[in-house]
């Protein structure tokens, strides 16, 4: 019987020594990606840190609580200096604006509720940056995302993070099998963020106590409407707030200030029943409101599907899965019915409220952690 002379796999699954394994680490300047870079450098890997400058550096310097800002670039560079590996800053402002910000503004103007962080991962970090990593002759690219990559019978699989409170699988459903083959997520198995901060302290990182980013990086203080008005002057045209039964209840200052499911800030007090935004009629500049039960949705149309499950997506007529229709919702039981290789209908076994076009619908195996892919909700059901 022949002896297996192949070298053992290192911690990143490569059949060679860490010193011979080059890893590009996407560094946002936060504690998560900094720990990944420090951990891999400590383990002897050939680490190269890369930080993306995604929007105006001058404006970013004064902004706290967002990733990829000027302060964060400085923090990432400092971590690289302390740990002794090279670090590069790449100007992706134009790419980011074209691939993420413009669509964000246009989606809001069309009455949708977009998720720009997914598009950033899909179109910038896991496409352009990943190609840069290949140009740097890296064996793989590592990030600080809380998600797990596991080897299955058919190759790498995407799984939810061990810590459900930190899990970022909703934002990474569009990762393709080819990208997953190249990516690594060293934090996905950790039980809590406290473990990450303990590692940061162990490595003596200057960002060990840095607060987590809260906002979308280019939306200061969560004020979406202000950003859209700046990007699309004249977008906030006033119109009517109309009850689903046809009654005009008041005026609004622009459809972009409202989202499906919103209750507060409607400015139509004095009514007998609590009312919610149930639909946005962009063409007529109307905000349609109604009782909470009108928000209940059972059928969700999904398109631009990225499939990470086994076999061809549309090989089966239907399958039982779990889905998340918002990042803040737990997975719910559903039936997935493929309509084409990239479109499907999702039937929720229990109605969900506030399902909105522009949000993602992410697929999971029922009762498990595996991410089967997902797509985009594209019209009101």
Residue 90: other Cβ atoms inside 10 A:
14
Query: Are the C-beta atoms of 39 and 23 separated by less than 8 Å?
Result: no
> Rounded to two decimals, what is the model's pTM?
0.90
Tens digit of pLDDT for each residue in 136-184?
Answer: 999 999 999 999 999 999 999 999 999 999 999 999 999 999 999 999 9
Over residues 231-242, mean pLDDT: 88
Q: Which residues are catalytic?
A: 120, 217
Sign of CA dihedral 298, 107, 26, 9: positive
Q: Answer yes or no: is pLDDT of 57 > 60.
A: no
| b/e sequence 223-247, b meaning 16+ C-beta within 10 Å | ebbebbbebeeebbeebebbbeeee
* Domain range 18-221, CATH class: alpha beta
Give pLDDT tens digits for 307-350.
999 999 988 789 999 999 999 889 999 999 999 999 999 999 99
Q: What is the pLDDT of residues 264-312, one digit of tens each?
A: 888 887 677 899 999 999 889 999 999 999 999 999 999 999 999 999 9
252, β-bridge pairs: 239
Distance CA 320, CA 318 (A): 7
Query: Could you state, in order of their start, the residue ranges of all structural domains in the chain?
Result: 18-221, 236-290, 296-377
Q: Which residues are 347's β-sheet partners?
A: 299, 335
Say which CATH topology domain 236-290 has.
SH3 type barrels. (2.30.30)
Residue 249 neighbours by CB distance under 10 Å = 17
Return d(Cα 347, Cα 264) in angstroms, integer.
29
Domain 296-377 in this protein, CATH class:
mainly beta
């Amino acid at each position: 019987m022949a002896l297996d002379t192949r070298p053992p796999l290192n911690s990143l699954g490569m059949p060679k020594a860490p010193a011979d394994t080059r890893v590009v680490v996407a560094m946002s300047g936060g504690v998560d990606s900094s720990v990944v870079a420090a951990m891999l450098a400590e383990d002897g890997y050939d680490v190269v840190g890369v930080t993306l400058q995604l929007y105006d550096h001058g404006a970013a310097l004064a902004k706290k609580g967002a990733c990829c800002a000027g302060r964060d670039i400085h923090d990432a560079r400092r971590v690289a200096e302390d740990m002794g590996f090279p670090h590069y800053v790449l100007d992706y402002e134009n790419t980011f604006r074209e691939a993420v910000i413009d669509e964000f503004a246009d989606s809001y103007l069309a009455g949708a509720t977009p998720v720009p962080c997914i598009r950033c991962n899909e179109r910038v970090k896991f496409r352009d940056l990943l190609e840069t990593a290949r140009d740097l002759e890296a064996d793989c690219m590592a990030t600080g995302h809380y998600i797990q990559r596991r080897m299955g019978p058919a190759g790498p699989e995407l799984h939810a993070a061990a810590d459900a409170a930190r899990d970022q699988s909703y934002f990474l459903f569009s990762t393709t099998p080819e990208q997953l083959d190249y990516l690594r997520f060293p934090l996905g198995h950790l039980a809590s963020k406290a473990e990450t901060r303990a590692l940061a302290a162990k490595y003596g990182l200057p960002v060990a106590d840095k607060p987590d980013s809260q906002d979308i990086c280019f939306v200061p203080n969560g004020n979406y409407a202000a950003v859209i008005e700046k990007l699309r002057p004249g977008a906030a045209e006033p119109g009517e707030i109309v009850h689903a039964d046809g009654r005009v209840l008041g005026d609004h200052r622009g459809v972009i200030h409202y989202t499906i499911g919103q209750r507060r800030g409607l400015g139509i007090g004095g009514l007998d029943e609590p009312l919610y935004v149930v639909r946005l009629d962009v063409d007529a500049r109307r905000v349609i409101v109604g009782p909470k039960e009108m928000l209940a949705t059972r059928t969700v149309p999904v398109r631009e599907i990225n499939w990470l499950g086994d076999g061809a997506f549309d090989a089966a007529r239907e399958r039982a899965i779990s889905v998340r229709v918002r990042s803040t919702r737990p997975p719910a039981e559903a039936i997935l019915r493929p309509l084409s290789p990239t479109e499907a209908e999702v039937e929720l076994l229990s109605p969900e409220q506030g399902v909105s076009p522009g949000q993602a619908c992410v697929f999971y195996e029922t009762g498990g952690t595996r991410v089967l892919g997902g797509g985009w909700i594209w019209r009101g059901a």
